[in-house]
Amino acid sequence: MDVCPPGYTYPDPVALPLVFVPVAEPKTGKNRVHLDLATESAGHQAAEVDRLLSLGAAAADIGQGDVPWVVLADPEGNEFCVLEPRPVYRDTGPVAAVVADCPDPAALAGFWELAAGWAPFDSTDGWVALRSPHGVGPYLELLRHQDRAGQGPACLTGPGPARAGRPGTA
């Protein structure tokens, strides 16, 4: 069975292989890690949202306000974003970024740089992005955790560094 989207082959870094592990416990808190999905146009974003809703996703309001991306939740309640088109994500493939909340993005980036061999791409005081040394595929974006009890990942709640601070973003 082909597990990569059409046009991608593993181990190409653009073909991000995802493994979902079943757990007995229901989701009880916010996700510390979520996916951002890339789109190529406003029409593509709308079509992707419609397609994902038809597959069982649900609109998610986690206090993100009026933003250009769409926050959805998978059938188990795990949030993810369908991004508006952005030049910086044009060559990532279907997954633009894997975004993780953490207390110290710079320190964690050092770990992932050594563990995965990915290179720092961009950073601010509260956010670091890494990418494959080949310069293709999704980004790993580490975002300083913001304590917002009961809400989703910090970057989903407003135009934080993962949104406004990226090159080519609005």
pLDDT-based confidence at residue 9 (cuts at 50, 70, 90): low
Contact 80, 37 (CB under 8 A): yes
Which residues, at least 6 apart from 131, have a Cβ–Cβ distance to it below 8 Å?
A: 118, 119, 121, 137, 138, 139, 140
Give per-residue pLDDT as tens, 48-80: 999 999 999 999 987 788 999 999 999 989 999
pLDDT value for 85: 96
- Name the pTM for this structure: 0.79
* pLDDT tens digit sequence for 93-151: 899 999 999 999 999 999 999 998 889 999 998 999 999 888 888 999 999 976 544 44
- pLDDT bucket at 31, cuts 50 / 70 / 90: confident
pLDDT greater at residue 97 or residue 23: 97
Q: How many CA atoms lie within 13 A of 105 on its CB side?
A: 24
Cis status of the peptide bond prior to 11, with omega within 30 of 0: yes
The per-residue pLDDT for 105 is 95
pLDDT attached to residue 160? 34
Contact 116, 128 (CB under 8 A): no
